[in-house]
Amino acid sequence: MSGAASSPNARPHHRVTGVVSQLGVLLGAVLLWQLATAGGDSPFFPTPVRIVTEMWRMWFSGGIGTLFLTEAAFDDVLPSVGRLLLGWTLAGVVGVGLGLLLGRSGNALAYIGPLLSFARSIPPPALLPVFMVLFSIGFKLQLVTIVFGCLWPILLNSADGARSVDPVKTETARAFGISRASWIGSVVLPGALPKIFAGLRISLSLALIMMVISELVGASDGLGHAMMLARDQFDYAQLWSGIVLLGLLGYLLNTVLSVVERRVLEAVPQ
């Protein structure tokens, strides 16, 4: 009784302790970096303080009317985020839709499974020369690169989730004569949601990677383009500030998706 009564109060305590420990490790790593680079004169490894200062000056020192975003932020950060989210969303819509259909089809996945395995085994950066020929340098090239890189984890996880739906629920739905569209929406989709979100999490990291790669080779704006310019100008503080900003952006997007996943899985009956 006492253990059961104390467990709800213990969970928040453990959660806070875990967060504090993680922050402690992060701050310790930053402090070591600062100490290791403060006494040196290498231009390739600026101190964290200089990196953060440069990042603030470049992108977040604007006025209150622009939500503290500078003109460079509108040229570099926002286009990158827009391309990332658009490509990831398109890959999610196509991947979930095809995955659910293939997962519930008796023979389709068996026939095209080898083709899907071959396509997902191709490193997306290896197709950049092909995409450059087909779409030329610009927005289409970047979008197609992101979509192709993100599609496969979502599609395959969605198909696997659709296949793993409880057969009892499937037979019950058929016994009640539910239409196929209602069956997919009320039975298959809720049952496949955990694996769908697993694919979305993997693809979100891939979207960030493919966004940077596409901007390194074929963009006139975006964070990847800004980092290339910084490299050409030997501005390593700005180059590192772009790297750190990409890490923060990836962490923020993953945190938001984790919160959405938890809320959705709690609200939708499995």
- pLDDT, tens digit, 9 for 90 and up, residues 25-77: 888 888 998 888 887 777 888 999 999 999 999 999 988 988 889 999 999 99
CB atoms within 10 A of CB 33: 16
212 class by beta-carbon count within 10 Å (0-12 exposed, 13-18 middle, 19+ buried): buried
Q: Could you tell me if 115 and 226 lie in one domain?
A: yes
Q: Do 103 and 89 touch, CB atoms closer than 8 A?
A: no
Q: Which of 46-55, 117-126, 257-266 has the lowest mean pLDDT?
A: 117-126
Say if residue 34 is in the same domain as residue 168: no
For the segment 211-222, the average pLDDT, to the nearest whole number, is 87
pLDDT of residue 4: 47
For residue 230, give the amino acid letter: A
- 69 neighbors 59 (Cβ within 8 angstroms): yes
Same-domain pairing of 12 and 104: no
Average pLDDT of 195-216? 94
Please indicate, yes or no, if residue 228 is contained in any of the structural domains. yes
User: Does any domain span residue 49?
Assistant: no
Residues whose CB falls within 8 Å of the CB of residue 208, separated by 6 or more in sequence, listed in order: 84, 246, 249, 250, 253
Cβ atoms 210, 131 nearer than 8 A: no
pLDDT at residue 218 is higher than 90: no
pLDDT of residue 57: 93
Could you tell me if residue 139 is inside a domain?
yes
Q: How many C-beta atoms lie closer than 10 Å to residue 231's C-beta?
A: 14
Q: Which has the closest alpha carbon to 85: 230, 259, 242, 256? A: 256
CB 189 within 8 A of CB 158: no
Q: Answer whether residue 50 is part of any domain.
A: no
Helices (H) and strands (E) in the chain, counts: 11, 0
Q: Cβ of 211: how many Cβ atoms within 10 Å? A: 31
Assigned domain for 52 exists: no
Max Cα–Cα distance, the chain, nearest Å: 75
Encoded amino acid at 87, one letter: G
Q: Which amino acid is at 102?
A: L
- 187: which DSSP letter? I
Same domain, 108 and 188: yes
pLDDT tens sequence across 139-186: 899 999 999 999 999 999 999 988 887 777 777 777 777 776 777 777
Distances (CA, A) of 12 to 18, 20, 132, 176: 10, 12, 51, 44
Co-location of 63 and 175 in the same domain: yes
* pTM of the predicted model as reported, rounded to 2 decimal places: 0.85
